[in-house]
Structure 1
Amino acid sequence: MNLEERIMKIILFSGNAKSHAFEAIQAAKEQNLGLARECMEKSNQELINAHQVQTSLIQSEARGDKAEITLLLIHAQDHLMNAITFKDLANEFVDLYETLKS
């Protein structure tokens, strides 16, 4: 897989993670906490996938195969960082809705 394909995978997985986290908030808001937790698990898995691709890029660079820093690579990193932050906040929202329900 070439560099651009790996970068696009990070963007794809990160976008999926953020979407699942948003779905979790919506489900919790509708008092469907089981679905909310399921969506959060999907979000976590997508972030694991993105992180694995990111790690492979880091390992390649550590072996001396340096990736060219492009706007697309920066964009992918931005997507990943935002998805992680959004997932963390979504988890707090789900927890809050769960607390309010009990």
Structure 2
Amino acid sequence: MTDEEVVMNLIVPAGTAKSAAIESIAAARKHDFERAEQLLAKADAAIVDAHEHQSESIRAVLNGEEDSGVSLIMVHGQDHLMNAITTIDLARQIVGLLHELSE
């Protein structure tokens, strides 16, 4: 996988997911829980996309189709992916708490 493909396949969807998760908290703070859930769904879809590309890359290395050398951009991509997953998990909890408090 080229560095450009790493950026497009990992970092961009992870960034989209993280942004949507943060936006979901903002929507929940305004008591727009429907929008918050839509944004969390958007975040989940972006993470699935990034994770599928990550799995493809791992399979290619295991099958000997790609070099297993670790590049700085790959590490950066993995970092973005893991941070986005954590942000989504926390956003889901915060949105849930805000929803409970609003009732």
The number of residues matched between the two structures is 101
Match of 2:5 in 1: 6
- The one-letter code matched in structure 2 to 1:80 is L
**Helix, strand or coil: the match of 1:68?**
coil
The answer on whether the counterparts of 1:25 and 1:90 sit within 8 Å (CA) in structure 2 is yes
Match of 1:101 in 2: 102
Q: Distance in 2 between matches of 1:60 and 1:5?
A: 17
Task: Using structure 1 for the length normalisation, give the TM-score.
Answer: 0.94
Stretches of structure 1 lacking an aligned partner (at least 5 in a row): none
The answer on whether the counterparts of 1:24 and 1:36 sit within 8 Å (CA) in structure 2 is yes
Stretches of structure 2 lacking an aligned partner (at least 5 in a row): none
Runs of 4+ in 1 over 2 A off after TM superposition: 65-68
Post-superposition offset of 1:5: 3.1
Residues 67-76 or 14-23, more deviating: 67-76
Match of 1:25 in 2: 25
